[in-house]
Structures are given as structure tokens and as C-alpha cells.
Amino acid sequence: MTLRNTLDTHRWIVPTLRILGLAIFILAFFEPAIRAGESTVLSGWKCATIATTESMTLFGKPGPGQHHFIEYLVAFSGWINPLVVLVVLASPVRVLLVVRRFFAVIAVLCMAGTWAVFSQQHIVPLTGHFMWIAGALLVIIPEAFPNRPRGPARA
């Protein structure tokens, strides 16, 4: 039995993945997420606050040439949170599939930006970061599968 047939037969899998992913995603905010330097450990909510603030700073006040590429990557990493929330809110609406897929692709690109920041700044990801990524992926992974046909499952 292929994954597509499994998803067609067990329609409860996608909502369960999303709920589980959302729970892990939320719990990640309370865990240590990164280690920057020898002694600085930041929790997930603190990382989210920094990324959101960076996003507002970069895009709220225009000023060409004042910002470094790494600051943009930090801002983009903060977009993962609202993108995951938008995917969850749009998930019950079937006609928003293309929009959900677009948000999912952007979220994955933002994840790559986060890892680029970690690499450039010598930041070590901790449990909270891995939970955050895993939760986000569980929420958005159903968007990667082709449309499931209506009607009875195919053999």
C-alpha cells in the first residue's frame, strides 16, 4: 500500500499530523532553542521575539544599505511562525490548497535561512529548535502530497 492510498483510506492521518505538529511547535517555545557563544542559551519564545523584532526593524524603517544579509535571514526565520499559523488556519478550506502549498514552500526556505544564520554566527541549535522545526514540518508536510481524489479510496 502506497502513502497516497494510506492517506486516502485513513482520512484522520492529516488532521492528526497537523494537531501533533502544532502541539510540538507550541511546546518548542518553552524549551532551550539555541546556544550563542559559550554561555548564552535562549528559549524558543526569546528567539521568536528577536526574529519578529528584527523583521519589524528591517521592513518597518526603509534605509538602503543599512542592513546586512544576515539580518534579513534572521527576519525571514521569524516568518516561519506566522506561516505555520496561516497553514493551520487555511487547512480546513479545500480551495486554499495552492495558498497553503505556497506558504509551506516559503516556510521551508525560511528554515534554510535559519540554518544559514546558525552556520554564519556559530549558533548551536538545541532541543527547542529541533522541536520547532519538527512541529512546523508536521503541520506543513501534508501540503507536499498530491490532491486526494474525492470519493472512495482506490486500491
Q: How would you write the pLDDT of the chain (155 residues) with one tens digit per residue?
A: 566 565 555 678 888 888 999 999 999 999 999 999 888 999 999 999 998 888 887 766 655 555 578 888 888 888 999 999 999 999 888 899 899 999 999 999 999 999 999 999 999 999 999 999 999 999 998 887 765 555 454 44
Exposure class string for 41-61: b at 16+ Cβ within 10 A, else e: ebbbeebbebbbebbeebeee
Please tell me the pTM assigned to this model. Answer: 0.81
Exposure class string for 89-105: b at 16+ Cβ within 10 A, else e: ebbeeeebeeebeebbe
